[in-house]
A = this chain, B = another copy of it.
Amino acid sequence: MRYPTVSAAPAHRADMHRCAALLARHLRRIGLDSVAVRPGRVAPLVTGEWMRRPGAPVVLVYGHYDVQPAGPRTAWTTEPFRPVVRDGYVHARGASDDKGQLVAQLAAIEAWSASGGPPVNVRVVLDGEEEIGSPTLRHDLRRRPRHLSADLAVVSDTRMRDPHTPVLVTGLRGSLAVRIEATGPATDLHAGAFGGAVAEPARALCALVASLHRPDGRIAIDGFHDGVRPLRPAARARLARDGPTDRQLLAPAGVPFGHGEPGHSAFERATVRPALVVTALRAAARSAIPRRATAELSIRLVPGQRPDSVVRALRGHLAEHIPYRVRGRLTVLAACPPYALDLGGPEVAAACRAAAPVFGRAPLLLPSGGSIPFVSDLAATTGVQTLLLGFGLPDDGIHAPNERFALARLHRGTDTCVRLHAELGRL
């Protein structure tokens, strides 16, 4: 956590390499073979393996050592890249997402190494580009390299419901990031000389963005929902029983009431229903009419939706709704499909058996609204499923100031991972 491994900041390239070298030394120290630091587009990939258990399953342990930018220093009570242990928590950027959690995975391997090696074969892949969409890994996946070949993947990069209740994540939403640019006049135009007489890109963009939802909160794009299946009553009942209430989910957002697709709980809206949010609006010209305005959208997809079909639907909507005196252009910035865990597989039962003795209860089976592109792509490309068994909490402050991770969860997470290897070895 001392390395500011911000993958989005080119200034931190050297820190990425230093952290990767540290991780490689650590992988060797805990007994892994063929440890390598592989060059990536932005940051290296650190890999290692322990393949000395012939006939046992191959488990791919994935984690990421890159982090989100710390944001304004003033918002932090301690230095973001000087980890401090206080009141049972380690405080630092990356403490929960994902450095602390990947350490739980590595500590489990280390524990097994001390007694003859894990009961499964293990491949470890530590990504330095997760926060920027894992470009290197996702490109590598297409060539199906040996270091990504496995029967099953295990990832600790998700959250528990509360400190006593682990969660096995049953699905991730897909993600589609797009930029919409509206242009018109050749230059910025004096608002006095032209105001009232020309079509404005910024105004057209606002009307376009407003047209993406119906007033009731439903997404208004023709064809957007194609393939989305209604939730089954049993699944809804499980979400209602095990998931957070609206109040619990919305409390960290600081809003008293939710808003979204009618007929759904906040948890359903944020996990198993698709969403379209505006992440950026940009237009500016000192007291003038800007010649150009852009919006960035983050679209979250659920099973049945494919990024390319949704892009097609969006382009159709754009063509219908942009006024004809303004030009609109859509650029896809990033995309990954949704991911769904096969709940009937024996690995799910194994994960439940592993966590139960540590936490005193089996994990809840709940979906996440987030996206982990590597997990989605791994399933889409190779059919390999991922057990998403994480030890974070909603109030860990990931992607926010004062990120932290409880040492108690590090220890219980390690314990769970040790037992998971044993359970998977018996399959």
Contacts and interface: CB of A to CB of B under 8 A. Distances in A.
Nearest to A265: B197
Interface stretch (A51-59, A85-93, A183-191, A418-426): A183-191
A133 B300 CA distance: 45
Contacts of A212: 203
Given A196-B270, A253-B186, A325-B255, A203 B277 contact: yes
A346 to B, nearest CB: 29
A309 to B, nearest CB: 19
Interface string A191-219: 11111111110110111011111000000
B202 A274 contact: no
A275 B260 CA distance: 34
Interface string A246-286: 00011001110111110000110110011111111111111
Contact of A370 (B193, B211, B261): B193
Interface in A335-382: 368-371
A37 interface: no
A45 interface: no
Contacts of A286: 8, 68-69, 279
A398 B187 CA distance: 12
A400 interface: yes
A81 to B, nearest CB: 18
A283 B283 contact: no
Interface string A161-185: 0000000000001010100000011
Contacts of A68: 286
Given A277-B200, A280-B285, A298-B191, A185 B260 contact: no
A276 B276 CA distance: 29
Interface in A270-308: 270, 273-290, 293, 295, 298, 300
A82 to B, nearest CB: 23
A257 B260 CA distance: 38
Given A279-B288, A282-B284, A286-B68, A260 B210 contact: no
A399 interface: yes
Contacts of A186: 253-255
Name which of A274, A295, A369 has the most chain B CB atoms within 10 A of its CB: A369
Given A206-B206, A277-B200, A298 B195 contact: yes
Contact of A281 (B196, B210, B293): B293
A188 B275 CA distance: 16
A135 interface: no
A323 interface: yes
Given A282-B284, A285-B279, A293-B281, A369 B199 contact: no
Interface in A59-75: 68-69
A400 B68 CA distance: 39
Given A202-B281, A277-B289, A173 B192 contact: yes
Contacts of A198: 250, 253, 255, 258-260
Given A210-B203, A259-B199, A278 B283 contact: yes
A196 B273 contact: yes
A289 B270 CA distance: 13
Nearest to A289: B277
A210 to B, nearest CB: 4
Contact of A280 (B189, B250, B284): B284
26 contacts: A8-B286, A192-B370, A193-B369, A193-B370, A194-B270, A195-B298, A196-B269, A196-B273, A196-B275, A196-B300, A197-B249, A197-B250, A197-B260, A197-B266, A198-B259, A199-B258, A206-B206, A206-B209, A209-B210, A255-B325, A259-B325, A278-B289, A279-B284, A280-B284, A281-B282, A281-B283
Given A187-B400, A190-B398, 13 more contacts: A190-B399, A191-B298, A193-B368, A193-B369, A195-B270, A198-B258, A198-B259, A200-B278, A206-B278, A210-B210, A277-B289, A279-B285, A280-B285
